[in-house]
Amino acid sequence: MAHTLAHGFADPVHEGQAVFRAAMDALSRPGQIRPLATTLAPPAPLIPELAALALALTDADTPVWLDAPLRAEPAVAAFLRFHTGAPLVDAPDRAAFALIADPARCPAFAAFSQGTPAYPDTSATLILAVETLSNSAGPAFAGPGIRGTAHLDAGPLPADWASRWAANHAAFPLGLDLLFVASARLAGLPRSARPVALEAMPCT
């Protein structure tokens, strides 16, 4: 059987810029859903949006960790190695970026690099492919980039997600930053996003 490699960006300069800009907008305005158009057709279970962020942000300088479903498909590693040149690492704590196709089984946050007090920017960025992504419901957040409060409903996620995020935010300035991708869209959740308890929200 002939094995051909799926194509990368047709126009790496402008497609890479557009994907980065969507990620920049998403992280600087947590809870807002951004459109993310891509013509990539990577090998499953790597979805096109996950591949687009990987191609736009990673290269030989950024160790990348793949979750179990992505690791189980050799074509995914071959695709990423060829198009990005990023070293694929087995230990999640060595990764600058983690690509997660099965967010419900996302490893504990402590497994990833949290950064150090002097260099909090050395923490990992997790990119999760979710099925639902909406800002009309879900947990509420406040903080930088958010006018008042914002909702972000992403799933499926582990049952202890709320306490994980509360701990991640409490460790600020250390902590992980998340990008959620779904079909043709993207949202960001930086460590600065503070979970807002529902009872603490003003009744209107």
Which residues contact another protein by CB under 8 A? 7-9, 11-14, 16-18, 20-21, 23-24, 27-29, 55-62, 82-85, 96, 116-121, 123, 125, 143-147, 172-173, 177, 190-192
Contact 127, 99 (CB under 8 A): yes
Give me the least distance between CB of 40 and another protein, in Å please. Answer: 11
Residue found under tokens 């996003």: 193
For residue 176, the minimal CB distance to another protein (Å) is 9
What tokens does 58 get? Answer: 């990673």
Nearer to another protein, 125 or 130 (CB): 125
d(C-alpha 109, C-alpha 161), whole Å? 10
By C-beta, is 37 or 68 nearer to another protein? 37
104-137: buried (b, 16+ CB within 10 Å) or exposed (e) per residue?
eebeebeebbbbeeeeeeebbbbbbbbeebeeee
By beta-carbon proximity to another protein, the closer residue of 69 and 120 is 120
Closer residue to another protein in complex, CB, 20/156: 20
The least distance separating another protein from the CB of residue 195, rounded to whole angstroms, comes to 16
To 10 degrees, what angle do helices 48-57 and 74-84 make? Answer: 30
The CB-of-59 to another protein minimum distance in angstroms stands at: 6
Element containing residue 134 per DSSP (H, E) = strand 132-134
